């Protein structure tokens, strides 16, 4: 399997989702007809706000939502962070649940203590580009992304919002190379570790002569009292072998923002 075939396997990963309107909000609005669930097959590497417009169109009127009401989603009692990719949220909250993943749509009582206020797709795009620039700072001292044109930034985001693999990698491939367009180990590998619904740890680790197991060891040193005997580190829903070369993992299994978003979860 070629490099691009392996990357496409990651890109094509999807999660079946069933969206339902909050019954409490429907009752408070005096609604008597329960809207039908909305079923979607969402890319793991995508973001929930990219389908907000469709959900608003289908559900907002049923709860008499005003223009000032902001849509938000929850799974059980947990609000879902809109700036996290779908795959991270699924691995954090619903890896063991029955499919489709049932998510509740809300328009009232925005949980500002738990999630950032959503200010529109421009905010999502801005967050993505900010993470992308942070990743290149870790990998190349930000030297590569400084050469990007506005049209290249635009093409990257459009390829994510429209889920176009070839368009994405026609630009993102540059972030796998140094400023001279040559292959060389990244200075550091961008990664974050999540647990219990939040980002827990983000450290510095070189890519040369390191493995995925070194990331695990780095986490264990940071949290020496944490027992990992009954836990696993997941990336795109799969457990990565400790012996996997970290440079290879970063090149092939990073999310579109060029970070390895690793979920620490209890084994089932």
The pTM for the full model equals: 0.94
Q: What is the pLDDT of residue 39?
A: 97
pLDDT tens across the length of the chain (268 residues): 788 999 999 999 999 999 999 999 988 877 667 789 999 999 999 999 999 999 999 998 888 888 778 999 999 999 999 999 999 999 999 988 899 999 999 999 999 999 999 999 999 999 999 999 999 999 999 999 999 999 999 999 999 999 999 999 999 999 998 888 888 899 999 999 998 766 678 889 998 899 999 999 998 888 877 777 788 999 999 999 999 999 999 999 999 999 999 999 888 7
Q: What is the pLDDT of residue 31?
A: 67
Q: Kindly give the interhelix angle for 165-172 and 3-11, rounded to the nearest 10 degrees.
A: 120
User: How far apart, in whole angstroms, are the C-alpha atoms of residue 145 and residue 159?
Assistant: 17
User: How far apart, in whole angstroms, are the C-alpha atoms of residue 257 and residue 190?
Assistant: 9
Q: What is the pLDDT of residue 40?
A: 98
Q: Check: CATH 3.10.20.620 for 3-106?
A: yes
Contact in structure between 135 and 204 (CB atoms under 8 Å):
no
Q: What is the pLDDT of residue 133?
A: 97
Contact in structure between 85 and 14 (CB atoms under 8 Å):
no
Contact in structure between 191 and 202 (CB atoms under 8 Å):
yes
Q: Do domains 3-106 and 121-176 have the same CATH topology?
A: no
Q: 121-176, superfamily in CATH?
A: Autophagy protein Apg5, helix rich domain (1.10.246.190)
What residues contact residue 264 under an 8 Å CB cut-off, 6+ apart?
193, 194, 195, 200, 219, 228, 231, 232, 233, 234
The domain segmentation of the chain, as residue ranges, is: 3-106, 121-176, 191-266
| Strands of 85-218, DSSP E | 101-106, 191-195, 198-201
Assigned CATH for 191-266: 3.10.20.90
H or E element at residue 72: strand 72-75
Q: What is the pLDDT of residue 198?
A: 66
CA dist list (Å): 105 to 14, 16, 41: 20, 16, 16
């Amino acid at each position: 399997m070629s490099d691009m075939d392996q990357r496409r396997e990651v890109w094509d990963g999807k999660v079946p989702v069933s969206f339902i309107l909050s019954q409490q909000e429907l009752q408070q609005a005096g609604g008597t007809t329960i809207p039908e669930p909305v079923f979607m097959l969402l890319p793991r590497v995508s973001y929930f706000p990219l389908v907000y417009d469709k959900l608003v169109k289908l559900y907002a009127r049923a709860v008499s939502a005003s223009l000032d009401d902001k849509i938000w989603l929850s799974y059980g009692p947990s609000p879902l962070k809109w700036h996290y990719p779908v795959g991270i949220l699924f691995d954090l909250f619903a890896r063991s649940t029955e499919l489709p993943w049932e998510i509740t749509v809300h328009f009232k009582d925005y949980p500002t203590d738990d999630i950032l206020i959503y200010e529109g797709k421009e905010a999502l795009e801005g967050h993505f580009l900010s993470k992308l620039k942070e990743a290149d700072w870790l990998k190349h001292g930000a030297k590569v992304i400084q050469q990007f044109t506005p049209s290249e930034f635009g093409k990257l985001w459009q390829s994510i919002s429209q889920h176009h693999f070839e368009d994405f990698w026609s630009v993102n491939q540059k972030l796998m190379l140094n400023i001279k367009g040559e292959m060389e180990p990244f200075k550091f590998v961008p990664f974050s570790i999540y647990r219990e619904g939040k980002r827990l740890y983000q450290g510095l680790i070189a890519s040369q002569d390191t493995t995925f197991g070194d990331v695990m060891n780095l986490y264990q040193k940071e949290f020496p009292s944490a027992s990992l005997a009954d836990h696993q580190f997941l990336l795109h829903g799969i457990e990565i072998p400790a012996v996997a070369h970290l440079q290879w993992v970063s090149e092939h299994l990073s999310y579109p923002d060029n970070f390895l978003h690793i979920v620490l979860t209890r084994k089932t």
